[in-house]
Chain A
Amino acid sequence: MSIRERLSGNEAVAIAIRQINPDVMPAFPITPSTEIAQMVATYIANGQVNTEFIPVESEHSAMSAAIGAEAAGARSLTATSSCGLALMWEVLYVAASSRLPIAMAVVNRALSSPININCDHSDSMGARDAGWIQIYSENNQEVYDNFVQAYRIAEHPSVRLPIMICQDGFYTSHAVENMELLEDREIKDFVGEYAPESYLLNSRQPLSVGAYGLPAYYMEAKRSQLEALKNAKQVTLEVAEEFARLSGRNYGLFEAYRLEDADYAMVIIGSTAGTAKDAVDKLRAEGKKAGLLKIRLFRPFPGEEIAHALKNAGFIACMDRTESFNGQCGPLGAEVKSALFNARLMPEVINYVYGIGGRDVAVENITSVFEDLIRIEQTKDAGDRYRYLSLRE
């Protein structure tokens, strides 16, 4: 039975946490994710959950404590944003390479400097190669649904890796939307109890976590970590299928929106996908074949599937909500182009940096991107393939 509610994205995560009732949550406040920890602290104070909340002194400590708890066999999680995630960098790698399925609610926000509290993806994109699974959400419903699925993917025996469930700061974390929740019982049954195969202080199977890896074994350790990460793709699909049976809501590796016959395709991540769908509808109404691919799973990157979904598009706009300072493209642009190359597809790909530091993105801005693609087709002149959208000149 579904429950209709009006909630912010942060509330949606907090409710999912309450329903899951994980064991340990160390957290440190940072805008715009602060509310999540506060709400969990309130559930604890009300006796609604028996999660142990640790008000740690920094995000580095938050991730370290989560690693300790998870290694001891406890289902653990934290929430953060921006500089908080950046401060965790060292231990993000430790969590992943120790194969600890910690869940983290990331509420995306720009990095300093200049100091900025608004949305972009530079925080989680900076952590994209830390070995975590990354899932992004468009709206509050997806935030909730993705968080509910998180542990099922992360804890799967063929995966056992930490997972970030990302949402856009303020756009979804603070904006309130109508959405549907599942019953507490349904969530408890779906997520299940955490039964780790090995954990610290298990006298029948003593274990060492974080050992030294000599050159003779380090590469093999990394390779097996990669295999586990690759397995997350199939597991994400299986968990989504089971979730669809429970909720009636379907998820895949990505969402294709009017993409099948699109000549002009946009690839995008996060809340702006909603805006982009409006732009696509508008262009379609004018007879222009626009389409959209919205990323859900970014790590591991489903390159083959994405290239296949884009195979009919001649002109593609990759939308990056971060500047990665490599001088030629953003992280999404790089992934999509290498996926297309591997599939021997040669469409025109224009990479846009948009919305960084909370720069507003309206339907007209997205429409202008599609118009750029149409113009490129007509003039056969791609111009600069790496551009900024809505930059004040």
Chain B
Amino acid sequence: MQNKVNKYLRSEMLPHIWCPGCGNGIVLGALTRAFGLLDCDQDNTVVVSGIGCSSRASGYLDFSTLHTTHGRALAFATGIKLARPELKVFVIMGDGDSTGIGGNHFIHAARRNIDLTAIIFNNSIYGMTGGQSSPLSPLNSKATTAPQGTLERPFDLPELARAAGATYVARGTTYHANMLTQLIKNGADHKGFSVVEAITACPISYGRRNKMGNGYDMLLWQKEHGIPVERARKLEPSEMEGKFAIGELHKSDAPEFTDIYERFIDEKQINHREAKKA
């Protein structure tokens, strides 16, 4: 397995630049192993990322990679996918990247159900700029822009994705790394807009300020608070208070955007040719 996935990494770029205790390396590992399970063809796979600590991951992956602007990765990826629907396109984003500055692109990619696999590194904070609250920072959590705690309610990312039209929605954590690998693989196998939220620790800019301990403590927190969805569904809301479901949260079938578009173009071309003949 190790050798099978090593080729997906630009090993000359390692070691990575993430902070001690950061979970991003584990998400990158899960993603790399998912590429292995998918037996991804490097010449037919594109990795697109936005801006943020998490988006740095594209730099470590040996594919055609596109490091874009803050929040816009999905818009760039939509262009790639429409131009070359046969490519497998993975999109790496942070929580801020995908639901803050890029929130509009997120809901519209979901609405179109375009065949992209979005992996959201959710560390509950704007990591790269030093710990400002993000739209996924829990209510009352502390941030450099909210020293006394945030006053704004966060999004529930899987609910947002599902409601906007995403046809595959899953959530994993860096503690449950094998599950995360499988979820990414399943998301990539699914045709349509797939969202995999990866809960990852930012001990430096989130954990410290919110008294969650170091990277290890934050992994244990994920273990204790991430409840497999099969079990979560059987629990009372009060028992799920402060906890979150992990696993495959939503899967549905809907026409995929590039398919619809190709059919539409083909049909118009045929009509046009026939009109010319007649």
CA distance A83 to B101 in the complex (A): 12
The interface stretch among B64-72, B161-169, B182-190, B265-273 is B64-72
| Interface size classification for chain A | 10 to 19
- With both chains docked as a complex, state the minimum distance between the C-beta of A18 and any C-beta of chain B, in angstroms: 14
CA distance A34 to B70 in the complex (A): 15
User: By the criterion CB–CB under 8 Å, are A45 and B67 in contact?
Assistant: no
Interface string of B141-158 (1 = CB under 8 A from A): 000111110101000000
CB-CB under 8 A from B2, the residues of chain A are none
CA distance A63 to B129 in the complex (A): 19
The interface stretch among B79-87, B130-138, B233-241 is B130-138
Interface string of B182-208 (1 = CB under 8 A from A): 000000000000000000000000000
Q: Is B103 an interface residue (CB 8 A)?
A: yes
Residues of B that sit less than 8 Å from A by CB: 51, 67, 69-71, 100-101, 103, 126, 129-130, 132-133, 135, 144-148, 150, 152
Indicate which residue in A53, A55, A57, A112 contacts B69 across the interface (CB closer than 8 Å).
Answer: A112
Given A55-B145, A57-B101, A58-B100, A38 and B132 contact (CB-CB distance below 8 Å): yes
CB-CB under 8 A from A31, the residues of chain B are 129
A-B contacts besides A29-B130, A115-B51, 7 pairs, CB < 8 Å: A27-B145, A29-B126, A45-B146, A55-B133, A55-B152, A58-B100, A83-B70
Indicate which residue in A34, A45, A58 contacts B132 across the interface (CB closer than 8 Å).
Answer: A34
Given A41-B145, A57-B100, A58-B100, A34 and B130 contact (CB-CB distance below 8 Å): yes
- With both chains docked as a complex, state the minimum distance between the C-beta of B139 and any C-beta of chain A, in angstroms: 13
Q: Is A69 an interface residue (CB 8 A)?
A: no
Closest 5 CB pairs of A and B: A29-B129, A58-B101, A45-B147, A57-B100, A38-B144
Residues of A that sit less than 8 Å from B by CB: 27-31, 34, 37-38, 41-42, 45, 53, 55, 57-58, 83, 112, 115
Q: Which of A41, A45, A55 has the most CB of B within 10 A?
A: A55
CA distance A38 to B146 in the complex (A): 8
CA distance A27 to B146 in the complex (A): 12
User: By the criterion CB–CB under 8 Å, are B69 and A41 in contact?
Assistant: no
User: By the criterion CB–CB under 8 Å, are B70 and A37 in contact?
Assistant: no
CB-CB under 8 A from B101, the residues of chain A are 28, 57-58
User: By the criterion CB–CB under 8 Å, are B145 and A57 in contact?
Assistant: no
